[in-house]
Structure 1
Amino acid sequence: MSPELALTELRGGLVATLWIAGPLLLVVLVVGVVIGIIQAATQLNEPTIAFVAKAAALTAALFALGSLLLGHLVEFTILLFQRIPHLIG
């Protein structure tokens, strides 16, 4: 396996990781910022509120996007397994 081929496969794995984790991280980021603004405005600085809100938002995002993200992961894995003979030979 050449270094260029290895880097190409590594890049594909990183892109797949970004496609799978990106939407979930974005949801948690937005909820964290909104809760932070609300807590700053009300001067209610309780870390449990932010944690519970982020956990609930992440759970809702997983329910909403879980099948799409899992489908992307399965597609990437199948394509990777199909490329194994080309990677070795």
Structure 2
Amino acid sequence: MTPEVVMSMAYQGMRVTLFLAGPILLAALFTGLLVSLFQAATQINEMTLTFIPKILAVFAVLVLAGPWLISLITDFTTRLFTNIPNMVM
């Protein structure tokens, strides 16, 4: 296995990880930002207020983007396993 193959696999793995985690983390980030702005505008300083909207936003992203995320990880896994014989040589 050459260093180029290892770097290519690492790059693909990081790219898939970014695509899997990105939408979920961005939804949580923007929801937290909106709730923080709402709390600052209304001066409601409840620490537990951010949890329910974040959970709902992450759940909504998982429902909407779930099929795409699953196909992304299964395609990557399939490509990885089918390339194992090529990597050994």
TM-score, normalised via structure 2 length: 0.94
- How far apart, in 2, do the equivalents of 1:4 and 1:68 lie? 28
Provide the alpha-carbon RMSD of the alignment.
0.9
- How far apart, in 1, do the equivalents of 2:46 and 2:63 lie? 27
In structure 2, runs of 5+ residues without a counterpart are none
Deviating above 3 A after TM superposition, structure 1's stretches of 4 or more consecutive aligned residues are none
Matched residue count: 89
- How far apart, in 2, do the equivalents of 1:71 and 1:49 lie? 34
- Counterpart of 2:51 in structure 1 is 51
- Counterpart of 1:11 in structure 2 is 11
- Counterpart of 2:42 in structure 1 is 42
- How far apart, in 2, do the equivalents of 1:13 and 1:47 lie? 36
- How far apart, in 1, do the equivalents of 2:3 and 2:11 lie? 12
TM-score, normalised via structure 1 length: 0.94
In structure 1, runs of 5+ residues without a counterpart are none
